[in-house]
Amino acid sequence: MRRLTLLLSLPSLILTAQPVTTQMTLPTPDGFTLSGTLTVPDTKGKHPVVILAHQFRSDRNGWSPLTEKLNERGLATLALDLRGHGQSVDQLGTTVAVTSDFLPSAHLVGFDKIPDDLVLAANWVRKQKGIDGRHLGLAGASVGGFSVLLAAPRIKPSVILVLSPAGMEAFGPDARTHMVSAATKAHTLLMAFVSSGDKEAADNVEALRPLFGTNIRTFDGNRHGFDFLPESSDTMAVFFGEYLMHPHTGKAAPAAKPAPQEPAAAPADPSTVLTPTNP
Instruction: Report the CATH number at residue 247.
Output: 3.40.50.1820
Residue 267 pLDDT > 50, yes or no?
A: no
Write down the pLDDT at residue 212: 95
List Cβ neighbours of 225 (8 Å cut-off, separation of 6 or more). 55, 58, 141, 142, 145, 163, 164
Residue 277 pLDDT > 80, yes or no?
A: no
User: For residue range 188-223, what is the model confidence (pLDDT) as tens digits?
Assistant: 999 999 999 999 999 999 999 999 999 999 999 999
In-domain check, residue 107: yes
Tell me the pTM.
0.85
As a whole number, mean pLDDT of residues 215-232 equals 98
In-domain check, residue 278: no
Query: What amino acid is encoded at 188 in this protein?
Result: T
Comparing 79-93, 116-130, 265-279, the range with the smallest average pLDDT is 265-279
* C-alpha neighbours within 13 Å on the C-beta side of residue 85: 25
**Rounded distance between C-alpha atoms, residue 67 and residue 204, angstroms:** 25
- Tell me the CA distances in angstroms from 64 to 130, 212, 237, one per residue in order: 21, 30, 12
In-domain check, residue 10: no
In-domain check, residue 271: no
**Rounded distance between C-alpha atoms, residue 234 and residue 232, angstroms:** 5
Q: Classify each residue of 127-137 as buried b or exposed e, where b means 16 or more C-beta atoms within 10 Å of its C-beta.
A: bbebbbbbbbb
In-domain check, residue 212: yes
Tell me how many domains the chain contains: 1
Residue 258 pLDDT > 50, yes or no?
A: no
In-domain check, residue 90: yes
Query: What amino acid is encoded at 116 in this protein?
Result: D
In-domain check, residue 138: yes
Domain containing residue 203: 20-253
In-domain check, residue 261: no
